[in-house]
Amino acid sequence: MRSDRYSTLFVPATGLVTQLARALAEGRLEDKLLHFSKPKLLIVDELGYLPFEPNAAHLFFQLVSRRYEHGSMLVTSNRSVSEWGGVFGDPVVATAILDRLLHHSHVITIRGDSYRLRTKRRAGLVNQASAKEGKSTE
């Protein structure tokens, strides 16, 4: 067995906050926070695709705070950090989350077409104008 392996957990942001909210309602929040805090790397996908409910933003903050300086997080988002106040519904909570996420971090900004759009364009299924508008010519 290799000793250089790291535990990793991948979860879409909407699924993450849904699980945290359900755990809170069932009185199991501490257990669920522990579950998401254990892996060396937690990958949270598509943060900002849908706005968070106020309670969900606070639950996400608790998770980020718990992992801060104890475990790595990789967060993907289609929103710039300047838009996160709207994503979380509260600029103060967004600032607190970003403060912890951005400390000791590397931010990688990817511009241009997504892999999916580029592949469709090469296949002739989407033209340049439609891709920019997010519309398919199918």
- pLDDT tens, residue by residue, 19-58: 999 999 999 999 999 999 999 999 999 999 899 988 999 9
Q: What is the pTM of this model?
A: 0.82
Model confidence band, residue 137 (pLDDT cutoffs 50, 70, 90): very low
Query: From CA 103, how far away is CA 69, in angstroms rounded?
Result: 9
How many Cα atoms are found within 13 Å in the side-chain-facing hemisphere of 59?
A: 25
Question: Over the Cα atoms of the chain, what is R_g?
Answer: 18
Q: Are 131 and 138 in contact (CB under 8 A)?
A: no
Query: From CA 86, how far away is CA 78, in angstroms rounded?
Result: 13
More confident residue, 71 or 116: 71
Query: From CA 57, how far away is CA 18, in angstroms rounded?
Result: 11
Q: Are 137 and 127 in contact (CB under 8 A)?
A: yes
Helix axes 91-102, 54-67, angle to 10 degrees: 20
10 three-state secondary structure: strand
Tokens of 91: 């600029």
Instruction: Give pLDDT, residue 120.
Output: 81
Query: From CA 107, how far away is CA 95, in angstroms rounded?
Result: 16
